[in-house]
Amino acid sequence: MALRIWLFRLLLFLFIYYAYSSIRAYWRLRKFKGPWSAAWSNFWYIRASLSGKAHIVLSEVCNKYGSIARIGPNTLVTCDEELFKKINSIRSGYVKSDYYKAFRFDADRENVLSTTEPERLSYMRKRVTAGYSGKENVYLESDMDRALWNLFKLWKEKYVAHGSKFRRMDLARMMQYLTLDIISALSLGEPFGFLDKDEDLYEYIETLTGNFPAMTFMSAVPILSRLMRVPSVQRALAPSVKDRIGMGRLKAVVREKISRRFSGEKDDRQDMIQSFIKHGLSQGEIEDDSMLQIMAGSDTTATILRVAFIYIISNPRIYRELQRECDAANVPENEIITNERALQLPYLIAVIQEALRYHPAASGHGPRIVPPQGDTHNGVYIPPGTVITVCTWNTHRLNYDAYGEDADVFRPERWLEASPERLARMEKAHDLVFGYGSFRCLGERIARIELHKVLFELMRRFDFVLLNPMHPLDNDVNYGIFLQSGLWVRVEERKL
């Protein structure tokens, strides 16, 4: 009897505590509109994150409830450009949320993505900036060129169609192989060899695709995000170098390649690893940074390339104009275009600018925490400790104020036809594609050079036909990054 009374009192206490905390949380953000259930529970946000269409769901929320809307008891979403800049500016006082803790590769060590402490983040970014910028990597373009030559060789041997002979190729998978080989060559000094083998080495892509929903779930649930900070828990859940496949196996390969540079053998290669060593990074820190580049740099760049090709191939006007410009550049057949030369091709640049803003590759929302003193934006007070995420889909693709009434249309010409005032407005908005301030993407320059080279060379050397223009991708889901597959095309070699 006493036990039952004790249990009743415990349950009553828990109920009262839950009711009190729910009402208190609701009251703090009562000024902000949003889905009704989101004000009382994180379930709405968790379900949206796991839907694979979070970018669309959050876009609909912003369209319905305004540029700052409520999507959780303590969470807001915004598509306001100025607020985006504020929460990412260097001295804003905003910090990264626990969401990022799910992306720590080593239980005892933070990396530049997972760390949430501002001073530590600033210190880590300063030490890797020179390596990412390419200033201390003389092989930046030549490594990209080598991967492109490998791609051409593979296509000519296995996938190029001749006359009536039918061959199909998954351009989505090919773009991922290419970006993985490029980023591994840059970050490790040698490519993994996805293009040489023409296969998903270590089942990395398959494993990552399968695991991202779980990673998204862990990062979207506050209590699980905090749990992931416990070293013993992370050691148990994180991929192990003893794994035979997947991210753990890739981690082992990265560790083996990096360890060679610390083995004492003379190596004069002036590349990204050497830059990191020069600026004081330990072997473990370089391993973590290489894993981060491989995960973040390959998928996002591959996404932009896929999107660009879908809209180029499916639009004859864009296709003809881009190919005409590439042909007129008169780059010798036995050479890959340099980035300096690519920057002189206005339509190529316009297509890439349009692809970057029309389908933003990184849409993990970048949650930030309001500083202890709170914040006021456009006269509205935001309480301290509130988490604010960003709807990149609205900030870029549906930004009618910046890009005009046809912002929801893929139209590269907008960058060439705009008045000086309109162009300045578009460039101001587009500057946010790679983030802002202290959280701006470190790999921006690498990504832009890669996009210039790949898009130019593939358009001048090959012709493409979509095999399913009404449904170009077999799979296109979003879990912070886009997981895309099945972009089936017929590809033919052009005479140069």
d(Cα 239, Cα 290) in Å, to the nearest integer? 15
- CB 22, CB 73: distance < 8 Å: yes
d(Cα 159, Cα 402) in Å, to the nearest integer? 41
- Of 154, 464, 413, 195, nearest to 309 by C-alpha is 464
Burial of 320 per CB tally in 10 Å (0-12, 13-18, 19+) = exposed
DSSP per residue over 234-273, as a string? HHHHS--TT-SSHHHHHHHHHHHHHHHHTSS------SHH
CA 418 to each of CA 132, 351, 360, 424: distance values in angstroms, whole numbers, following the listed order: 32, 14, 21, 9
Tokens encoding 444:
């921006």
d(Cα 71, Cα 46) in Å, to the nearest integer? 10
CA atoms within 13 A on the CB side of 111: 22
**What 3-state DSSP class applies to 419?**
coil
List alpha helices for 329-476, DSSP H: 339-342, 346-358, 392, 400-403, 414-417, 420-430, 444-461
Is 391 annotated among the ligand-binding residues? no
Known binding-site residue numbers for heme: 441
Binding residues: 441
